A and B are shown apart, each in its own frame.
Chain A
Amino acid sequence: MNAIVKPVQGAQTVEPLARSPRGIAPLLLVPALALAMLPLVGSFPTWVTLTVAGLAMGMMLFIMASGLTLVFGLMDVLNFGHGAFVSVGAFTATLVLIPMRGWMEADSLVQNLAVLALAVLLAMVVTGLLGWAFERIVIMPVYGQHLKQILITMGGMIVAEQLINVIWGAEQIPLPLPTSLRGAVFIGDAAIEKYRLLAVVVGLVVFAVMFLVLNRTRIGLLIRAGVENRDMVEALGYRVRRLFVAVFAAGSALAGLGGVMWGLYKETLTAAMGGEMMVMIFIVIIIGGLGSVGGCFIGALLIALVTNYAGFLAPKVALVSTIALMIAILLWRPAGMYAPGSKP
């Protein structure tokens, strides 16, 4: 036991993200990109609005993608059905938000946030449980077979989307923001939507909690060790599979949280919203480096900022710009910005 405890203490003294120049360079990309865009955008207030919008979107992307990248890192499982949890989370939230419309429309921040918290809690519990069941029933039989994993999780996503249509109907569901989160605050001339600020805060909190859990707790140590080298952790007597189920459920719950936030951001829900997000999520985890939470965070911010700037500067190529970014990053580091371990 002592032998296991020691590295934990050791880990406290090491800053995992900024260990080496290799770790620092991607960190500088986000501010560098934002600053480089300032002269192109032209006006400072517009730039602030765009940057905050990008950061908010990036935080939501990070919340949705983080679970997926950890799941892949830990067990080599790529869940193409991850988007289903995003949709399910968003739709589950309507179970709270629509009956409690009175609280949503009340002009009190406390009531608004309370109902949102309740909706998020329900969505996370439901998607977490669903993730647990999904891992046990759908993914467990196909461990280690990538081709089948891709096909089966894809099938799972089709079924989940159709089930959402069965339960909630095929129509779009409008999901207006609560009263006190509508509109914008002004800092100088720059308008910043309140909800985006909230999204940035929530994203930072999730990242901080995740960072602390991964770097300061024993379970986090095991997860990181499992991502680096699963066989070694198993040889030391830990059941990585059990850990994996927990991570999968947690990742699904995070996808659910991301889904609620994304649904409120878009203010409409469709069953296909999760599937549409998958494209962005994949790009994020690819450029971040499969299995790396830090890379996922930076990747999400980069993608979201690029999308927002490109959407303003050249709307027609907004989605292609993310592909260009992906290509540029992969040319620089073929396995993503922070590829963990020495896996083949």
Chain B
Amino acid sequence: MTGLLSADLPRSRILSAALLVILAGLAFAPFLTTGARPLNTAATICVYIVLVASYDLLLGYTGIVSFAHTMFYGIGAYGIGLGLARVDEPTWTAALTGLGLALLLALALALVVGLFALRVRAIFYAMITLAVASSFAVLASQLSDFTGGEDGKTFSVPELLSPGYQLFASDVLGRTIDGKVITYYIVFGGCLLLFLFLLRVVNSPFGRVLQAIRENAFRAEALGYRTVVYRIWANCIAALVAALAGALMALWLRYVGPKTSLGFEVMTDILLIVVIGGMGTMYGAVVGATLFIIAQNYLKTLMGHASTALEGIPFLAAALHPDRWMLWLGVLFVLSIYFFPIGIVGKLRLRRLAAAGRSP
């Protein structure tokens, strides 16, 4: 267990319980729920956990602010999507070729942007990635012959994953094991592996150097580490993982489009999750992404009901209107940077430390 988690245990009882519940919930999601929407939510949570965790490698562990993370996510998604959309008969070869090319592109872009901007200053990198990512998004929607433009592209997946396919003749635990469930488990398994990989990275000696750079880049350099090289490596790893997450998402949705994979909204979501969950903790991504995606999918509906129920009261009804969801989230984001920059996970761990301090 310790080996699997790379000796980075949750270090808080509540957090461990929450993580176990999330893991179990995601692992058995097809059997615990019925219908398409809950399963879709679960798959989105899986992908977002990896996406946010890979961003945390940059922001929380290395102290790099990047706005190009969705670009890499989008590259992965488009890789699978275009790979499968270009062939008449969807095959694994086509999907893997597309994915391979996407990973190469992501790596090359991460390397070039990193070489170019990470040498100067963190703040330069933030601005340059913002510029590059938004141009990339525009480019993707402009090259409509190739990418499908604003509408994106829907594509069919290999037969094993298509909804019509059934693995067993009879139901298992009351659910037909169709292509959708198989896809879900591919997404779930892939995300689990990627997350454990990231956990391994941040707890390796390499990860320690990244944290040293975050704390004091000058000192890390003085100790003999080439900080630029480490930063670029971190950038490349994060980009590759984000691209893989995007590929899994595309496989699940059987659709790629600029809005769902390259839009700036996705970037804002990642930022919000990483900060609210807890920067520099990895587990923050799990807790944050789960809460955020569930809230996004269900809280809005709830807010709508509450708003109509409270129609008579002028201020409350307006404040709870579903359109106001982003406003409250933004306020929560700003407040959490001021008052608990360590996020949910950091807070939970702090409680444990405080309790340990009281009863030595």
Contacts and interface: CB of A to CB of B under 8 A. Distances in A.
Interface of A: 78, 80, 138, 141, 146-148, 150-152, 154-156, 158-159, 162-163, 165-166, 170, 275, 278-279, 282-283, 285-286, 316-317, 319-320, 322-323, 326-327, 330, 334-335
Contacts of B59: 147
Determine which residue in A154, A156, A286 has the highest number of CB atoms from chain B within 10 A of its CB, and name it.
A154
B132 A323 contact: yes
A279 B139 contact: no
Contacts of B130: 278-279, 282
Given A147-B63, A148-B341, A282-B128, 9 more contacts: A151-B337, A158-B326, A158-B329, A159-B334, A162-B324, A162-B327, A320-B138, A326-B128, A327-B116
B120 A334 contact: yes
B153 to A, nearest CB: 18
Nearest to B65: A150
| Interface residues of B, dominant DSSP | helix
17 contacts: A78-B123, A80-B126, A147-B65, A150-B126, A151-B275, A151-B333, A152-B334, A152-B338, A155-B333, A159-B331, A162-B326, A165-B327, A282-B130, A316-B139, A317-B139, A323-B131, A326-B128
B260 to A, nearest CB: 18
Interface string B316-360: 001000011011011101100110010000000000000000000
A55 B268 CA distance: 33
A147 B122 contact: yes
A320 B139 contact: yes
Contacts of A282: 127-128, 130-131
B341 to A, nearest CB: 7
B34 interface: no
B134 interface: yes
Interface of B: 59, 63, 65, 116, 120, 122-124, 126-128, 130-132, 134-135, 138-139, 142-143, 264, 268, 271, 275, 318, 323-324, 326-327, 329-331, 333-334, 337-338, 341
B324 A286 contact: no
Contacts of A279: 130-131, 134-135
Nearest to A80: B126
A283 B131 contact: yes
Contacts of A162: 324, 326-327, 330
A312 B142 CA distance: 15
B334 A155 contact: yes
Contacts of B337: 148, 151-152, 155
A138 to B, nearest CB: 7
B211 to A, nearest CB: 14
Nearest to B133: A279
Contacts of A156: 334
